[in-house]
Structure formats: C-alpha cells, structure tokens
Homo-oligomer: A and B are copies of this chain.
Amino acid sequence: MRTVQGDASLRDVTVIFDDRPIIRGLSLEITAGLTLIRGPNGAGKTTLLRVIAGMVPIAGGERRVDGETLYIGHRPMLLRGLTARENLSFYSRFRGLQDAAVADALRGWGLDGKMDRAVERLSAGERRRAAMARVEIERVPLLLLDEPFADLDEGGITRVRDCILSARDEGRTVVVATHGHPELDALAALRLLMNEGVARAA
C-alpha cells in the first residue's frame, strides 16, 4: 500500500445494493493528476465514482475526501424545465461563485443560441456539452467524470479531452471512467482495472 497522501482515499470500502456486494473491500488513493477507471459493463465503475463523490452509503470501510468534488454521471444531471444557463448559474452560485462565467463557458461548448432553451429540448450531445461546461465554471479540485465522451461529436470529444488535460495540468485531480479513448492511458497517473467490484492497478 502506498502511503502518499491523496486528495481522496478509500480504505476497504464495501457497497451493498439489494444484499449484493457491488464494491468489495476496495482501497484506493487518488492524488492530483489523471486517474482512469476501466472495466467491463457492470464492473462497478459508476458505483465507485459515486462512492468517492459521497453519494452512496457505504456498508463498511472508510472514505476520506479533501475539498469539493464535482461528479458528472451518465445522465446530464440538469433540472428539466430550467435552461442550461439557469442550471449552471445555480450550481456556480451555490458554490459561492459569480455566475458571470456561465454564458461564456456555454458559448465555448457550442451552445450559443441554445443556452436559453429548457434542457429537455436540447439534443443528447448538447445536453452533455452543457453538463461538461460545469467543469470549467465550478473549478473544483476533484473532478469525477463518468463516460464524459458519450453522445459527443468529433469536436466535442476533442474539447472534453482538452478540458481533462488542462484540469490535470492545473494540478486538479481528475478521475475518468470510460470504455474507449485508449489515448488517455499514456497520460494517466493511475489506471484502475475494475471487475466485479474489485479494482487493481493496471
């Protein structure tokens, strides 16, 4: 076991859904830089990210996270009925930031002219772009991204990659779970291979 002090650490964490163990005695130190989580469907990647984000009650073990986290899941996590701009303003003001940066960031993600439309009236990729813009607006030290490339076109994928890499270069901690994008492997400080709720470094 490494003793490096990380931004987030799990010690012997177990998660049980429906009396079935989904994460089994998992220990993990995550430090600044890029951490990649890989593994087949149903391995427990999403559950692991949610554990780190503190969104799943853990049945055993310990979780320690320093600083604020931003988790973006399979779904866009935007409130229907509100526009993309309103959703993001809310998040940034909730973190005590100004919401001046919101419109610019959304424009940067290609939502010019669409940011004042209710999010359920955007296309799947547009919704994902709006969600990803949070990374630039909320600027938290620990990013947890679940399949961030989904639904995006070529340009969107490049933008997400750049966004991940620049967050890493700023010294933030980025944890990404994704199936594709082998080009990230070389850039990752830590690669975890999950299977049936157990993770090993790869």
Closest chain B residue, CB of each to CB of A124: B74
> A89-123: which residues lie under 8 A (CB-CB) from chain B?
110, 114, 117, 121-123
Chain B residues within an 8 Å CB radius of A153: 39-41, 179
User: Contacting A121 at CB < 8 Å: which of B18, B117, B154, B179?
Assistant: B18
Chain B residues within an 8 Å CB radius of A114: 42
Cβ contact within 8 Å between A125 and B42 = yes
> CA A116 – CA B124 in complex, angstroms?
29
A180 at the interface (CB under 8 A from B): yes
Cβ contact within 8 Å between B41 and A123 = yes
Nearest CB of chain B from residue A200's CB, rounded to whole Å = 17
> CA A114 – CA B121 in complex, angstroms?
33
A148-167 vs B, CB cutoff 8 Å, 1 = contact: the mask equals 00111111110000000000
Chain B residues within an 8 Å CB radius of A42: 114, 122-123, 125-126
Chain B residues within an 8 Å CB radius of A41: 110, 123-126, 128-129, 151-153, 156
Nearest CB of chain B from residue A136's CB, rounded to whole Å = 18
Which residues of A are in contact with B by a Cβ distance under 8 Å? Answer: 17-18, 39-42, 46, 74, 110, 114, 117, 121-126, 128-129, 147, 150-157, 179-180
